[in-house]
Amino acid sequence: AQSVTQLGSHVSVSEGALVLLRCNYSSSVPPYLFWYVQYPNQGLQLLLKYTTGATLVKGINGFEAEFKKSETSFHLTKPSAHMSDAAEYFCAVSGYGNYGQNFVFGPGTRLSVLP
Amino acid sequence: GAVVSQHPSRVICKSGTSVKIECRSLDFQATTMFWYRQFPKQSLMLMATSNEGSKATYEQGVEKDKFLINHASLTLSTLTVTSAHPEDSSFYICSARAGGLPDTQYFGPGTRLTVL
Q: What is the pLDDT of residues A28-72, one digit of tens each?
A: 878 899 999 999 888 899 999 998 889 999 999 999 999 999 999
Is the alpha carbon torsion for B101, B103, B109, B115 positive or negative?
Answer: positive
Nearest chain A CA: its distance from B15 CA (Å): 22
Beta bridge partners of B57: B49
More confident: B97 or A68? A68
| Structure confidence by residue, pLDDT tens digits, B63-83 | 999 999 998 889 999 999 999
d(C-alpha A48, C-alpha A37), whole Å = 10
| Structure confidence by residue, pLDDT tens digits, A93-109 | 987 654 445 788 999 99
pLDDT at A21 over 50: yes
Nearest chain B CA: its distance from A71 CA (Å): 22
B8 interface with A at CB cutoff 8 Å: no
| Structure confidence by residue, pLDDT tens digits, B2-48 | 789 999 999 999 999 999 999 999 999 988 899 999 988 889 999 99
How far is the CA of A37 from the CAs of A77, A89, B56, in angstroms? 13, 5, 28
Answer left, alpha or beta for residue A61, where phi above 0 means left and psi between -120 and 50 means alpha: left
The three-class DSSP label of residue B53 is coil
d(C-alpha A94, C-alpha A30), whole Å = 9
A35 interface with B at CB cutoff 8 Å: no
Nearest to A32 among B42, B57, B102 (CB): B102
pLDDT band at B53 (very low <50, low <70, confident <90, very high): confident
Q: What is the model's pLDDT at position A99?
A: 47
- Contact residues on chain A for B57, CB-CB shorter than 8 A: 100
Average pLDDT score over chain B: 91
d(C-alpha A75, C-alpha A35), whole Å = 9
B105 interface with A at CB cutoff 8 Å: yes
A25 interface with B at CB cutoff 8 Å: no
* B95/A43 CB distance under 8 A: no
pLDDT band at B101 (very low <50, low <70, confident <90, very high): confident
What's chain B's length in residues?
116
Q: What is the model's pLDDT at position A115?
A: 94
Residues 6+ apart with CB under 8 A from B97: A101, B30, B31, B32, B33, B34, B104, B105, B106
Nearest chain B CA: its distance from A50 CA (Å): 9
Nearest to A100 among B44, B57, B103 (CB): B57
Q: What is the model's pLDDT at position B65?
A: 94
The three-class DSSP label of residue B26 is coil
* A107/B42 CB distance under 8 A: yes
* B42/A101 CB distance under 8 A: no
Nearest chain B CA: its distance from A77 CA (Å): 20
State the Cα angle at A91 between A102 and B50, rounded to 5°: 20
| Average pLDDT of the residues in B90-96 | 94
